Structure 1
Amino acid sequence: MQAERGTRYSGVAMLLHWVIAILVIMNWQIAERAEGLDGPLRGEVMGYHKAWGITILVLTLARLAWRLSHKPPALASTLKAWERALARTTHTIFYVLLIGLPLGGWLANSLAGRPLSYFGLFNIPGFPVGENKELAGAIFDAHAAGGTFLLLLIVLHVAGALKHTFFDKDGNLWRMLPFGTPKA
């Protein structure tokens, strides 16, 4: 495993973090907008939600592979034990959701017999499962609940970053930005 220098994440880790973050917020908004639509327009908008979800899945797998092959900087020595535990738990849950939500959506689409087009460029094959609309509906419901939990986790993550920036003034936020001074 290659050691990361200093207290800042690598440029690749930063890029993947921020691109995934932006795509998650964007994809949430696409799904929210689709809720008020009917018929073919709703299907078209949800098609974008699905394609961006697959993109998030691929980027998250790339980020996880990068993290496993490039040791991230150590947590700040100023963190309390509960902050370290919360940081590790939050990051683990982020990975579970960022992988599980797209896979769940993909599985539900497969069970519903719905196509999964990647921005009209090509179709992504469904999972080799039989059609089961009732199970698909249950998975879609779980997918929506997981998406809501992901949003709450994002709020917690941002609140933690703001706490470290404005109250602790420990420079922790700058670990994930190419500017500023991490103090850890």
Structure 2
Amino acid sequence: MDNTSTYGKFDKFIHWLMALNIFATLILSYGMSDLPEPLKPEEYGGHGASVTTIAICLIIRAIWRARQGFPPLPTTMSDMQQLAAKAVHYLLYICLFAQVSVGIMLASTTKQDFIARGYNINYSSFDLVNDAMYDTLLTFHKGIYWTIVALLVVHIVAALKHHFVDKDDVLVRMLPFTKRS
């Protein structure tokens, strides 16, 4: 297990690749289910590509974290703050895995082909659940969406608090181009 106080290049790369894809997906997918049918294949292709990238990164990152562990949190953080930090991280992972899973099931109920651009994966061909589940799955998908947004806000605000209020290295150790110590 790695006991350095910051994250390595691979950790930072996978974190920021996921972050960029998550933000793009959250912004660009808002209201996607309400689009007119002719526009959906194009939107599905981009959404599928971004989500597939997130899923791959999630799997790699979960395996990497399980093997490497996490750098220790600053000793200046209270036990409650450390528990909250861990809870937000784990809830974010769980919600992202759930969102991808529900999204794949949802895509398998669509009438339009849901083909992830660049990956050429047709999620609508998986036929995982009955088409009658579409509305229920869409409701879950939207609920998880807002839960992810809330968790990301907490995550970002906490990182900024650490940097500007606590003046510790919690934010800096995940920034690209900072040295590992």
* Counterpart in the other structure of 2:59: 61
Q: CA deviation at 1:113?
A: 5.3
Instruction: Give the 3 Å change call, closer, same or farther, for CA 109–33 of structure 1 in structure 2.
Output: closer
Residue type of the partner of 1:92? Y
Q: CA deviation at 1:151?
A: 0.8
Instruction: Give the 3 Å change call, closer, same or farther, for CA 181–120 of structure 1 in structure 2.
Output: closer
1:115 maps to which of 104, 113, 116 = 113
* Counterpart in the other structure of 1:25: 23
Query: Identical aligned pairs, as a percentage?
Result: 25
Instruction: Give the 3 Å change call, closer, same or farther, for CA 137–44 of structure 1 in structure 2.
Output: same
State how far apart, in whole Å, the 1-side matches of 2:180 and 2:8 are. Answer: 13
Q: CA deviation at 1:128?
A: 4.9
- Normalised to the residue count of structure 2, the TM-score between the two structures is 0.88
Q: CA deviation at 1:123?
A: 3.0
* Counterpart in the other structure of 1:161: 159
Conservation of the 8 A alpha-carbon contact between 1:164 and 1:171: yes
RMSD over aligned Cα atoms: 2.3
Pair 1:129 & 2:128 matched: yes
Q: CA deviation at 1:137?
A: 1.5
Residue type of the partner of 1:163? K
Residue type of the partner of 2:128? V
Conservation of the 8 A alpha-carbon contact between 2:3 and 2:72: no
State how far apart, in whole Å, the 2-side matches of 1:59 and 1:160 are. Answer: 23
Residue type of the partner of 1:116? F
Q: How does 1:99-114 map to 2 (within 5 A)?
A: 99-112=97-110, 114=112
* Aligned residue-pair number: 180
Conservation of the 8 A alpha-carbon contact between 1:171 and 1:182: no
State how far apart, in whole Å, the 2-side matches of 1:21 and 1:99 are. Answer: 14
* Counterpart in the other structure of 2:137: 139
Structure 2: runs of 5+ lacking an equivalent: none
Residue type of the partner of 1:9? Y
Q: CA deviation at 1:96?
A: 0.6
Structure 1: runs of 5+ lacking an equivalent: none
Q: Give the 3-state SS of the residue equivalent to 1:115 in structure 2.
A: coil
Q: CA deviation at 1:99?
A: 1.2
- Which structure is richer in relative contact order (CA contacts within 8 A, separation 6 or more)? 2
- Normalised to the residue count of structure 1, the TM-score between the two structures is 0.86
State how far apart, in whole Å, the 2-side matches of 1:38 and 1:128 are. Answer: 23
